[in-house]
Structure 1
Amino acid sequence: MADKEDTKVKEAKPAETKTSEEGSGFNASEFLKGTKEELDKVVWPSRQQLVSESIAVLLMVTISAVIVYLFDNLFSWIAQQVF
């Protein structure tokens, strides 16, 4: 049998608040340093990947637009026949 002590939910301690010295204000140089570190982790696509994926996106957008256009014309024609 488990002790009641084990099954008790322990209360969480409140997070310590920062003093005015630790977190006061915005430090632009630290922000830029952190931003540069994060951008260094990014894996940038090669030119070939960028071109091929851009073409794929443009092709899919064009196909989607044509399908929407055709359905719009179809429903317009149907509406004219009914009304």
Structure 2
Amino acid sequence: MSTLTRNLSGSREMMKTYCRRVEIPVLGEVAVPPPDKLAYYAGLGVLAAFQVIEWPLALVVTAGHLLADQHYSGLVKGVGEALESA
């Protein structure tokens, strides 16, 4: 099995582990983050609702965490390593 194929199959398994999907009638299939991340985002929402932090700050922090926690970056890393070894 080539390095690229091994990395792609490993990334696919990781995506299945971390991406739970829920079917919503109007929106279709929606990805749900893991429970620990969901609790973090809910905590930010509660802080913003009680005006401990401002809504724009809560949105920026949430967007930053979503970008930093992308589980798909492993796929990009695997492809890059495979291309370097080729």
Fold in common (TM above 0.5): no
Q: Which has the higher contact order (CA 8 A, sep 6+)?
A: 2
Q: TM-score, normalised on structure 2?
A: 0.29
Higher strand fraction (1 or 2)? 2
Larger radius of gyration: 1
